[in-house]
Amino acid sequence: MGTLLVTGATGRVGRVVVAMAAKSGKFTVRAADPDESQFDKLKALGAHECVRFDLKDPSSWPACSQGATAVYSASVDPLIKEHMEWAKHLGTLKHQIKHVLRISCFGADTNTNSYDPKKHASTDGQDIPLMLQHYWEAEKVFIDLGLPTTGVRGNFYMNHVLKNDLDNIKNHGFFEQPAGKCKNSFVSPNDQGEAAAICLIEGPEKHANKFYDITGPVPISHYEMAEILGEVMGKKIEYREMDLVKWESDFGATRAAFREYLRNGFYTRCSPDFYNLTGRKPTSYKDYLTERGIHGETGLEELFSEAGKLYTKGVDPFKKRAAENK
C-alpha cells in the first residue's frame, strides 16, 4: 500500500475521497486539515492518519508530504499563489509521488481545447474569467513539474450558488442570483468525490494525463432548483432574478465574471465522464438533497452546514490578484 495525502479532507469533496480511499484498502489514508479539532471526524470516515496542513503555513508541509505516494489536491480559489508554492514543494518529491489528482473546474481546459482566453464564450470583449484561468494554472503547475496528473473538473456544485442566501432561504423563503433563466448542469460534490477517488484508486497507469468533466445528469434553471428545494424542505422557495451589476457590487468583479458564465450557457452541457468512470448516471439535485452520502450527510444538511461558505458579502478576496493580472 502507498500513502494517499488528502488535503482539504474536510471539504465536501475531500471527505468522500477519504472515505472511499480508506474503504478500498489500497492506501494508508493521510487526511490533512488546518483544524486539528476535525481529526476525530476524519478518523470516523476511515482516515488512518491525520496531520495539520495549512497552505498559508509552509512549515506544515514537510510532515504532510513525507512518504506520500499519491496526493489529492484541493484549495479555495483565493489561495492560488499559496497553492503554486505548495505544488513546487511537491515537485521536489517526484521521486516518491506517483500520482497527483487536482480538483478543478469545468472550463479549465486550455490543454484539452484550443481557445483564446481573451475571448469570452458568448459576450463580445469579455475575457475568460480570471477564476477559470486560475483553475488551469493550478493544474498546469503540476504538469510542468513532471508529476503524473489527473484533473477532475466539476461544474458548480449543487447548493454552492445558494451559500450566501441561507438566511433568506431559511427565514424568508427565497434566494437571489444573477442567472436569469439559463439552465446549468450543477454537479453533486459526492459525484465529484467519487470520480476523484476512482481515479486515485485505479491509479496513474489508467488516469495520469487524463482530464474529466463531471456534471449533473440534466441542466436545471434556478427556478427549477427553487422548486426542488422547496419540495424537499416542505415550504415554498422562490428564485428571484438579480441584476448582475448589483451582484458585482456585493461580491466583486472577479466572481461576477464567473457568474456571468452561469447565465450564458457555458455550464449547460452534460458530460458523459461520470458515467464512463462509474457506469451510472450522475446524481440528480433532488437525490443529492435527500440521500445520505458515504460520509452520512444529506445534501440538505450540507446546504445549511459551514461547508462551502467561502465568501462574504462586501468582501472581494480577488481584488488584489485581479489588479496584478492587468
Domain that holds residue 198: 2-325
Predicted pLDDT at 129:
82
**Do residues 266 and 197 make contact, with C-beta atoms less than 8 angstroms apart?**
no
Q: How confident is the model at residue 261 (pLDDT cuts 50, 70, 90)?
A: confident
Inform me whether the pLDDT recorded for 321 exceeds 70: no
As a whole number of angstroms, the distance between CA 263 and CA 271 comes to 18
Calculate the CA dihedral of residues 290, 292, 295, 296 and round it to 10 degrees.
Answer: 100
- The beta-carbon contacts of 126-131 under 8 Å, at least 24 apart in sequence, are 126/257, 126/260, 127/257, 129/254, 129/257, 129/258, 129/260, 129/261, 130/254, 130/257, 130/318, 130/321, 130/322, 130/325, 131/77, 131/105, 131/254, 131/255, 131/257, 131/258, 131/318
Predicted pLDDT at 36:
94
Average of per-residue pLDDT values in the chain = 92
Predicted pLDDT at 123:
66
Q: What percent of the chain has pLDDT over 90?
A: 73
Q: Please identify which residue in the block is written with the cell numbers 500513502.
A: 3
Predicted pLDDT at 307:
78
* pTM for the predicted model, two decimal places: 0.93
Q: What is the mean pLDDT of residues 110-133?
A: 77
Q: Is the pLDDT higher at 120 or at 56? A: 56
Inform me whether the pLDDT recorded for 120 exceeds 80: no
Q: How confident is the model at residue 26 (pLDDT cuts 50, 70, 90)?
A: very high
**Length of the chain measured in residues:** 326
Q: Which of 50-59, 91-100, 287-296, 308-317 has the lowest mean pLDDT?
A: 308-317
Q: What is the mean pLDDT of residues 166-170?
A: 95
**Packed helices 189-202 and 14-24: angle between N→C axes, nearest 10 degrees:** 40
Indicate the number of domains in the chain.
Answer: 1
**Packed helices 253-262 and 244-251: angle between N→C axes, nearest 10 degrees:** 140
Q: What is the mean pLDDT of residues 280-285?
A: 98
CATH number, domain containing residue 308:
3.40.50.720
Identify the DSSP state of 280: S
Inform me whether the pLDDT recorded for 255 exceeds 90: no
Measure CA 129 to chain center.
Answer: 16
- pLDDT, tens digit, 9 for 90 and up, residues 183-196: 999 999 999 999 99
Q: What is the mean pLDDT of residues 54-79?
A: 95
